[in-house]
Amino acid sequence: MILITGGLGFIGTHTTRALLDLGESCLLVQRRAPVAPEWLADDRIVVEQLDLTDETALLSLGERHKITGIVHLAGSVPWPPGAYQPLEGADRAVRSLLNVFRAASEWQVTRLGLASTIGVYGGVPGSVAREGALKEDVPLPMTSPHPIPAFKKIGELLGAHLAGALGLDVVNYRIAAIWGPLGHPHSPFFAAPQLVHAAARGAVPDLSPLRAGAHAGDGIDLCYVKDCGRAIALLQLSDRLAHRTYNVSSGRLTTNAEVIAAIRKLVPDARVDLPEGRDSAAPGTWLDTTRLREDTGFEPEYDTERAVADYLAWLHAGNER
């Protein structure tokens, strides 16, 4: 049985589905009152409400379930802004991570996977980024303007230390820009969710939350959430991994223009026009997925057109996040 923290969240739900499809059973841990979507109903799923800062409650799961692996997707970042005082938020984030390591060590799990982010590459020198896709071994700056990549870097460093000290197989997932069913309809980092939700409603997209990237030529490494969940599942279940850190992404740059073209094939009158050109503040980088493909056999199943079609169908069926 694989324990998934944040198992009923956006990425967690799709990772659960992928693990079930690969023959696993799953224990989903959620801090808020857990409600599993109907399409995830399966007798191989157990759901527990639990705060990861509660070490005793977390360790007690091992008394009731035979847990063989952990996918840690929640509880390692003091987010959203204002939810906690700075010290309290940092304490909760680090304590949650340490408790997960305590559980992994006590249960002697086969593998512990830790969610990281494409954001850790922020600040990599432009000359390096312009050479092509970013690889996992590129040196990362030890600064971050945003709490999410800052705490993910902390998690990677702490995880590397504890993996050696405790003798655990620990794997970092550097996750790209993920979109699709159950995701936030408004992202501050990329425009695709806003564009698809607007097309489904017949509305003009609200791009005000975007920090940058509201032009047709702006792009990012978009990975559809179903592909993301499957990649994480493969990393969790692969017999042998040659590396500790893996990029989880489509391995290519997807522009807003590509997303708009895919939307217009299905919704010709969609009001999703964006100004031509590129925003100089938009990242325009993507991730190298050679490690992921070579060690797990992963290949994306959703190109932009198939992803847009699937997302629109989900929204047209009356679903929301």
Q: What is the DSSP string of 233-301?
A: HHHHH-S--S-SEEEES-SS-EEHHHHHHHHHHH-TT------SS--TTS----B--HHHHHHH----S
Predicted confidence at residue 264, as pLDDT, reads 96
Q: Which of 191, 175, 189, 288 is nearest to 230 (CA)?
A: 175
Which pLDDT belongs to residue 72? 97
Cα pseudo-dihedral 26, 32, 35, 39, rounded to 10: -50
Q: Is the dihedral of CA 72, 103, 19, 35 positive or negative?
A: negative
Q: For residue range 49-83, what is the model confidence (pLDDT) as tens digits?
A: 999 999 999 999 999 999 999 999 986 665 555 55
- Is the separation of the CB atoms in 182 and 228 below 8 Å? no
**pLDDT the model gives residue 319:** 83
Query: Which stretches in the chain have pLDDT values below 50?
Result: 127
Please give the pLDDT value at position 127: 45
CA distance 225 to 302: 9
* pLDDT score at 192: 95
CA distance 288 to 188: 23
| Alpha carbon distance, N-terminus to C-terminus of the chain | 27
Residue matched to tokens 């970092």: 172
Please give the sequence-ordered ranges of beta strands (E in DSSP) within the chain, or none if there are none.
Answer: 2-5, 26-30, 45-49, 69-72, 111-117, 170-175, 177-179, 219-220, 222-224, 245-248, 254-255
Positive or negative CA dihedral for 33, 34, 38, 43? negative
- Three-class DSSP category at 180: coil
CA distance 259 to 304: 6
Spatial distance between the Cα atoms of 290 and 33, rounded to a whole number of angstroms: 39
DSSP β-ladder status, 170-175 and 245-248: parallel
What pTM value is reported for the model? 0.93
Q: CA 57 to CA 106: how far, in whole Å?
A: 14
Q: Which pLDDT does position 71 carry in this prediction?
A: 98
Q: Three-state SS for 179?
A: strand
Tracing tokens 């990242």 back to the chain, one arrives at 283
Paired residues of 27 in beta bridges = 3, 46
